[in-house]
Every structure is written in structure tokens, then in C-alpha cells.
Amino acid sequence: MLSSVIEEKWQNHRWLVHIGVAVGYALAYLIVTTTLANAPWSFASGLRIACLLLVPYRYWPALVAGELVPLAYRCLAHVDDFGLTWALLASVPPIMLAMPVIWWFRERAVLFPRPDLVDIKKLLYCIILLSLLWAAAGSAIVSTVHLRSGQYRIPTGIAFSLFIDFYMALLMVAPWVVIARIHPREALRPLPSWRVIATNSAMRDVAIAAALFVVLTMLHRVVDEAIKPAVMLVLFFPALGLTLKHGWRACVFGATLCLISICLLVEWRPDPGVQQIQAVLAFAITGLYVFGARLSTQMWMFEQLQHETLQTRQVAKRSLASGEDRLQQTSQALECVVGILRMDYTRIMQRFIPEALRDDYSQDFWNVQREVYQLAESIHPSAWRERGLAAALEETIGNALREVGISYSCDTPGRRLRFLSEALQAVLYRMACEAAATMSASPACIGVHLALRTGRHHGAPWVALRMDGMLEASQAAYGILQARARQNVASKLGAGIKTDSELRLLARLFHGDARFRTTASGVRFTALLSDITSRDLSQSAKMAPVRLWAR
């Protein structure tokens, strides 16, 4: 009941909000025009674009009224000095001329594609168009000035001078307004501690850039006249560094400090030389904004691609883990089937087969049972299910190699392998089986040694695998005699004899690499894998230095 009454009162007195907006804008306009009257650029234009970009459309008439009152009061006070025509034209609020332009860019040109995005190209077009519009209007108004002493002589280049003034002011203010608009609306959070600020790379780089601007500004005042242009040129380097490392928003901060420093160093006056400096400065800052926006877009696209790649890898890892689970279930089911067949076959033998013929039938059954058991072991070894991955690497691979006369030794971290993810354990085992099958296929192979090492890097677990195959040419004849048995090693281990490139692709799934290479004693397979999560990947991406690589 009370809320409905308050809402009704609010609806009946909404005009008070318009009055408040008009009064607030008029006060802000007076403060800006009075405080910054001696500034080199017209910062009142920055106030106009800030209000038009932030204030809803329904309050725009209040903005016109808020600017009309102080502007008309000042202009009409100089009717006797500059003429009635000038006073009337100068009393037209420039914010009213900018409203159609801002509305078109906001509604038709899609200046803000999303609440958290801004089209920098459209923003620069808007700034240029507003500067041209206000410069043309200002030139027309100046041409109507009529002094008491006679016709006013219009200075040469007044239109370009007005354009540069408006453009520099908008270039300095508009990006900050846009940042304030697209900044996410979050609940108020406590200010970060000094330790957090010191460890934040962006804050640290901003502080360093600000210190460099202060040092360069002081240095410009004490060096010789011949060196001052070089010092002024160096002022752009901190802004460029911020842009390269942190993108467009840091570029806005660096460009603002650069403009402030140059304002303090250059004596602004209506002079062609000063106008050239302003033109070069405007071109440089515009190029810096475009470069920063492009770099921010590439950073955003890289983050999106990195996120999508991480999601794809997570899906592939889950598929590997689920595939191993299905293989484990299949292997267990086969072992259960072997047990059931054994019991059924024993009953059938006792009931229907004469005792004299049982030995022949028993031998055939045991052969079938052994084949099924080997199939179950090749699908998923029982040692892995019962005693872990280290046992599978030690026993399953070792038994398959020793049966064909190849010595085998294994050095693993033991129980520490249990802390790896299921997908990483599966890839480790399958890679070791592929490498063992590839090495054993050579008739000259006489021994295989496997070594595993584990650790953590930036919180992410990693594991390194190294398998050495010892080749002896003098033993090749013995290997040829066992060629058929060695061909069965791959089937016993469930290996498909993958190529080097296929193993490398599998390793890249875990942010690593794998390869075969020849050594003095034979052949070596190495693999380095890391189980990086999304949090670890984002931290590593933030810690990566800026690299300007090209091809």
C-alpha cells in the first residue's frame, strides 16, 4: 500500500527530476567553463558529450534548458560589444546541435553493440563529426560579430583552430565517458589492499607510467632547447607501453597523461606553429586509440579462442576418461564371463563327458579361457584396477615384453601417480604401451627401460615419461626367430602402433609434447604432459609476457 502511494506521488512529480537535471547540468557547465576558462581546449564540449552518452533521452530537453540559461545570460550581456545577431546565435546551446548526431550513433550506427562493448571506430567518427559541426557553427557565429569600431576581422584559420580545440577536448574526455558507461555494474566492494594493488600488474604498470610522465615533464623544463622536442616525443612511449601490455583502457589512461603533460609544457596560443603541434598530437593520439582498440580486440579474441580450446580439451579428456571406464567395465565383464563359463563347463564335463576324454576337452577349454583372459588384460589390465597405474606399468608391460625375450625395467614414483587425473593416467598408460609395442617390433631390441617423474608447476601437476629401447644388431637373428611372437605384443598391450604425429596430437591435449628419437644405444620415446585446469590456464595467460612475433 505504501509503495503504491509512493509510486503514485513519484509519477505525479516526475517534472522535479527534469528540473534537477537542468539545474545540475547548469551548475556543472558553469563550473567547467569558469574553472577551465584558460585551458587550451574547450572542455565544455567534453561535458556535453558525457551527458549525451550517459543521460537517458527523456532528460535531454532538461540538458538543453540547463545550458541555455547560463549561455544566454553570458551572451546577451555582450550585445553592445559584439552585436545582437552574434548574441542570439551564440545563445543557441551547442548541445542541441549534437543531439541528432549522438542519437544516430547510439541508435542507428550501433555505437554500443552490447552493454559492455563499444565500437571505437564509430566513436572516433562521432567525435570527428561533432568537432566539424561545432567548428562550422562557431565559424558562422564569429562571422556575425560586429564591433563598435566596425566590422570584425576574422582571424585566418579560425575554422581549423576551432576544430582542433573541440577534437582534442572530445578525444580526452569521451573515452573516459565510454569506459564509465560500459563498465560492469557490480555491487560495491571494499577498496583493495596495498598488497593487492602492488601485485596487480596493471596497477603497477600504470603507476610506473605516471612516474615516467612526471619525470619526463620535469626533465623537459631543465634540458636545452635542442633536446626538448626529443623529450616531448618520448612522452608517447609510456602510453604505447601501456597499450601494448593492457589494451585500450590502459591506452586511454596513458594518452590522458600524455595530453596533460603536453598541456603543461607547451604554451598554447593562436599561432600556426602551435596548431601544427595540436594536429600532430591529435593524429598520434587517434592512432594510439585505434591501435589500442585493435589490440584489445585481438586480446579478447585470443581469450575466447583459449576458452573454447580449453573447453574442447576438457571434453576430450572426459571422453578419454569415460572411454577408459568403459574398457575397464568390459574387461571386468569378460573376466566374469570366464568364471561363469568355467563353472558351467565343469558341470557339463562331469555330467556328459566320459572321464577318458575329459583331458582333451579340458585342454581346449583352458586355451579358450586363456585367450579371453588375455583379451580382458589387453582391454584394461587387472593390475591397474587392483594396485594402480604403477603396477600396470611394471607388471603388464613387463610381462608382455619378457615373454618375447626382451628385458624390462621400470622406475616410477609409485603412489604419487594416483593423484593424477583419470584421463592423464589413461594417456600415460596408452603412450607407454604404444612406445613399448613400437620398440619391441624391432628384431634388434633386447631391452626396454621406463622412467616416470612427476611434479607441479604453478599449481598444475605435470608428468614426464621416458622410455629407452636398447637395440643390439648382433641379436637381430634371435629377434627374427621371435618375429611372430613380437607382433603379438601390441595386441597384448591393446596398442594400435600410433605414429609419432598421432602421439604428439594426443600429448597436446594435455599441453605437452611427445616424440621418438634415436640415441647412441637405440631409440628413445619422451613425453611431457600437464593437467592444466581453467584457473591454471588463465593464470599462465596473465603471466605470459608480451611478444611481438611476426611471420
Q: What is the 3-state secondary structure (H, E, C) of 55-68?
A: CCHHHHHHHHHHHH
pLDDT in tens, 201-211: 888 888 888 88
Residues 499-510: b if buried by 16+ CB within 10 A, e if exposed: eeeebbebbebb
The pLDDT of residue 350 is: 62
**Integer Cα distance of 268 and 257 in angstroms:** 17
| DSSP of 221-253 | HHS-TTTHHHHHHHTHHHHHHHHHHH-HHHHHH
**Integer Cα distance of 398 and 111 in angstroms:** 67
- Strand positions, DSSP E, 79-207: 146-147, 150-151
Give backbone dihedrals phi and psi of 441, rounded to 5 degrees, phi first. -70, -20
The CA-atom distances, in angstroms, between 3 and each of 6, 7, 14, 434 are 5, 6, 16, 73
Whether residue 67 contacts residue 90, with contact meaning beta carbons closer than 8 Å, is answered with no
Return the minimum-mean-pLDDT range out of 121-125, 187-191, 368-372.
187-191
**Integer Cα distance of 242 and 207 in angstroms:** 11
Q: Bridge partners of 457?
A: 460
The pLDDT of residue 144 is: 86
The pLDDT of residue 354 is: 66
Query: Which SS3 state, helix, strand or coil, does residue 11 take?
Result: helix
- Report the range out of 94-103, 222-231, 457-466 with the highest average pLDDT: 94-103
**Any residues with CB less than 8 A from the CB of 475 and at least 6 apart, and which?**
443, 444, 446
The pLDDT of residue 381 is: 81
- Predicted confidence band at 363 (pLDDT cuts at 50, 70, 90)? low
**Any residues with CB less than 8 A from the CB of 342 and at least 6 apart, and which?**
365, 369
pLDDT in tens, 424-446: 888 888 888 888 888 888 888 88
The pLDDT of residue 183 is: 82
**Any residues with CB less than 8 A from the CB of 495 and at least 6 apart, and which?**
430, 433, 434, 436, 437, 489
Neighbours of 28 (CB within 10 A): 16
Q: Does the pLDDT of residue 190 top 70, yes or no?
A: no
The pLDDT of residue 17 is: 84
Return the minimum-mean-pLDDT range out of 118-132, 361-375, 485-499.
361-375
Q: What is the mean pLDDT of residues 58-71?
A: 92
- Predicted confidence band at 55 (pLDDT cuts at 50, 70, 90)? very high
> Using only C-alpha atoms, what is the Rg of the chain?
39
